Structure formats: C-alpha cells, structure tokens
Amino acid sequence: MIKTSILDAGKLQAFAKERKLQPFRIKQIYQEIFNNQNIDFSQMTTLSKDLREDLDKHFSVVTLKVDKLLEDKTTTKIWFQTHDGYMIEAVIIFHRQDEKYNKNDEEKLNRITLCISSQVGCPMGCLFCVTGKLGFKRNLTRDEMVSQILFANNYIKQKFGKQEDGSLYSVRNVVFMGMGEPLLNYDNVKKAIEIMLRQEAGFSLSRRHITISTAWIIPWIKQLVKDEIPVKLAISLHAPNQTLRDKLMPIAKAYPLDELNKALSEYVNASDNRIFYEYIMIKNVTDKPELAHQLVALLRKKLAHVNLIPYNKNPAIDLVESDAASIQAFKKILEDGGLTVTVRDSLWRKMKWACGQLGYEKLIK
C-alpha cells in the first residue's frame, strides 16, 4: 500500500479532525519534520507513542525509497527509487572552509548544497549530457522533490549533528541541477519552491540559496517573473552563437538567442538577480578563442557570471575535455572583457557524480 504524503495538508487535516487532534499537534508534526529533521515517526518524541504509530499507518514523510548511497569526503550521491520503480539521483555537496582561514580545523563545514532532480530522465537530449540519453519518463511530484531534501537533512543530521550555535547542520543551498529540465515541470517545481521558502511547515531557505538550472525554456522564464518567484537562474548556454548552440542543444532551435536575451532582461529587472551562464568546455568545439570573444560581446553589459564547466566523460558520445591551458586562456579572454568567471571544480567526475553524468551507470548497462 502506498501511504499518503504527510505534506498533503488536506489529508493531514482530515486525519486530525477525525481524531479530534488540537491544531498545535499539526504544528508539532511539522516542527519534527522541518526543524528536528526527523523522517521516521518513531523519532518524533514530542508526539505520543500512540499518535506516532497511528501516523505511521497512514502517512510517509519521504515518498522515495533509497536504493543506494555512496560517500566520499566532499559529496554523497543518493539513488532514489520512486513508487513506480524509476530511479533518480541527488547529490549532497559539502563545502569546507578554506584551510588558510581555518588552519586549526580543516574539516569544518562551511555550507551544504543539495543538487536535486526534477524529472525521471530528461527530454532535452543535449549532445554532451548523459541524462538526456536515458530519455524522459515522467515529471517528479512536489513531494518527490521535497523528499530529496527531507532525506538529505536527516542524513546530514546523523552524520554531523549540531553546529556550534546548537542548530542542526542542514542543506543551505538547493540547486535544480540533477536529472531533468525543471521548467518543463513548472507547476510542481513552483510548489516545491514554496515549501523551501516557507517559514512554518517549510525549510526557511533564502530565495538567493535556490537555483534553477534550465536549458532556457523561455515561456516558463517569463512565468517565473509573473509568479514573482525570484530565485536564481543558471542558464545552460554552452555556445555564444546560434549555429553552435543548435548543434549542441536541440531546444536551441525552438528558442533563439535573441529571444532568450529579452526574457532574461525581464527576469533580471524583476528579481535583481545575477544570471549564471553555464558554458561547457569541449576540446576543439567550444573552447576556441574566437568563441570566447563572442561570449564577451554577448554578455558584457549584462548582470552575468560565467561558469566554465570542463566536459565530463559521456559513454554515449566521443567528445574530449578541453585541456587546462585552453580553459585558462578562454577564462582570461572573458575576464579581460569584463566578465566574472569561475572554472567549475570537477572533483566528482571519477565517481560519475559531476555535471552531465547523472544516469551514467544506467547508460553503461
């Protein structure tokens, strides 16, 4: 039997009414889940034993099943199974303080980021991305997306406990950069973000700590503005001209660069958020100096930050990562042109946890 999600407010209210529970009990349940980071009713010791057992018969906190979990020092990758047997992936990233600022304790955590999936597979079919080769199965529900955070917070609690101020370690940043195109699951993503931002019965995250990575579905970028959802955007640009983008990303044919620029200008004016532009570095494809100059011309007068992402191995296509010298030369041209640039760290590629590699194991099989 598939249990009802505890986040179904209507079903929980009906449950409470039938058992004549006081309103403060509902508040206690949500405090246990979001504040105390408990996902097992047996852990919720502020509730009576009878109520815990009754809740467990009817509801689930996490609506996904953990299939496998792998850890290293900087990341944890989680394979979740949905109720209908599909597999999705999420990655927890542990950012530690730079040793020069933390000489006595180099292991001290600075912040924690969670990369979540929004779909099973992906319909975009980008040339360089493993996930797109798996095809698209379905959208994830609001509760399936939120469940990834709930599980991560409980896992982090078990692993690290409390901070110096007595609060629990938890996810600070959520990025929709896992499997799927978030804006093609707009309604559910919007509902999940509402819970992330909510102070009560939510995660109380800052809007500036939530990022949607999108292949630029223009109508839904405009809808973000209309719905006043001012979270950060990371645009999968990957090429500074229409011809090259068409080769790398099929969706580019539907939404040309000039139309994207108009939509992003509206978004920046409404949110005052800097846009992150993701640019993949593929040897002899995207790393040519003339392309760097084109990128400068495209972004120079915009509120923009460029993330250069070294290409990560894809078993479905024969592409090669740009060498370090080419990446640095490309970066210098951008910086000399007035852009702010970061070369994305690729620490997790050996484990196939890096950008564009989610679903690698399944594709190999």
* pLDDT tens-digit series, residues 123-141: 999 999 888 888 899 999 9
What is the domain partition of the chain in residue ranges?
Answer: 4-60, 65-364
Predicted TM-score (pTM) above 0.75: yes
Query: Which CATH class, in words, describes the domain spanning 4-60?
Result: mainly alpha
Query: Which CATH class, in words, describes the domain spanning 65-364?
Result: alpha beta
244-273 per-position pLDDT tens digit: 999 999 999 999 999 998 999 999 999 889
230 CB-near residues (< 8 Å, 6+ apart): 207, 224, 270, 271, 272, 273
Written as tens digits, the pLDDT of the chain (365 aa) is: 789 999 999 999 999 999 999 999 999 999 999 999 999 999 999 999 999 999 999 999 999 999 999 998 889 999 999 999 999 999 999 998 764 444 444 568 889 999 999 999 999 999 998 888 888 999 999 999 999 999 999 999 999 999 999 999 999 999 999 999 999 999 999 999 999 999 999 999 999 999 999 998 999 999 999 999 989 999 999 999 999 999 999 999 999 999 998 999 999 999 889 999 999 999 999 999 999 999 999 999 899 999 999 998 776 678 999 999 999 999 999 999 999 999 987 654 555 444 544 544 554 45
Residues with catalytic annotation? Answer: 89, 355
| CB-count burial class (<10 Å; 0-12, 13-18, 19+) for 21 | middle
Max intra-chain CA distance, the chain: 70
Distance CA 144, CA 311 (A): 29
Both tokens of 266, joined, read 């509206």
347 CB-near residues (< 8 Å, 6+ apart): 74, 75, 354
